[in-house]
Amino acid sequence: MKVNKGVEWAAHACALLAVLPEGWTLSAEALAAYHDVPPAYMAKQMQALSSAGLVVSVRGAAGGYRLARPARDISLKDVFLAVEGAAPSFRCTEVRQNGPCGAAKAQCRKPCGIAASFYAAETAFRDSLAGVTIMDVVASASAASDLGKAAKIATWIQSNASRPGTER
């Protein structure tokens, strides 16, 4: 029962993309450098976000990633499902059908009480994440940081972000 490490990275990457000026992008490499994580693996997570439609990718020189929609419309559940996949974490192997007293397959169209409870618990997990948006995350982070840090980030963005479609 371990959540992929990539979820943390992807969520933080979204938070950074959220404070990017309109029309600008950050490359996978830049995002990796910002968070000091392996570039190739960070790129993988960004691809997952991209194919889930959470971020838009811009190919070519001066390309990179930007959020596909406003930060308030992207939840942590979206990020979680994008990189972790939608498969349920509880894998019922239908043990109730096994052994000397196994139930007939015909009587197992509904999940057993145990499986149903775990599915419900997972729904609760996801619903909880669905209530938190990237905007919320950014807000709580900026509330906890001082002015100096904000300036530092702004400076870093200016020298690392690019703007496709125009010369720098």
Nearest approach, Cβ of residue 63 and ligand FES (Å) = 27
Instruction: Between 61 and 144, name the residue whose CB sits nearer to a copy of itself.
Output: 144
Q: Please report, as ranges, the residues that interact with ligand FES according to CB under 6 A.
A: 8, 12, 92-96, 112, 114-115
Tell me the torsion sign for CA atoms 84, 139, 33, 65.
positive
Contacts of residue 2, Cβ cutoff 8 Å, sequence gap at least 6:
none
Q: Is 166 a binder of DNA (CB under 7 A)? A: yes
Instruction: Give the closest residue to 50 by CA, choosing from 22, 32, 28.
Output: 28
Q: Which two structure tokens, joined as six digits, stand for 44? A: 């993988």
The interface mask with a copy of itself, positions 32-61, x = CB under 8 A, is -xxxxx------------------------
Nearest approach, Cβ of residue 116 and ligand FES (Å) = 8
Nearest approach, Cβ of residue 36 and DNA (Å) = 11
Q: How far is residue 2's CA from residue 8's CA, in Å, rounded to a whole number?
A: 12
Q: Are 115 and 92 in contact (CB under 8 A)?
A: yes
Nearest approach, Cβ of residue 87 and ligand FES (Å) = 15
Q: Is 5 a binder of DNA (CB under 7 A)? A: yes
Q: Are 71 and 134 in contact (CB under 8 A)?
A: yes
Q: How far is residue 23's CA from residue 165's CA, in Å, rounded to a whole number?
A: 9
Residues of this chain that bind a copy of itself (CB under 8 A): 1-5, 7-9, 11-12, 15, 33-37, 76, 84-85, 89-93, 95-96, 98-103, 107, 110, 112-118, 120-129, 132, 136-137, 139-141, 144-145, 149, 152-153, 156
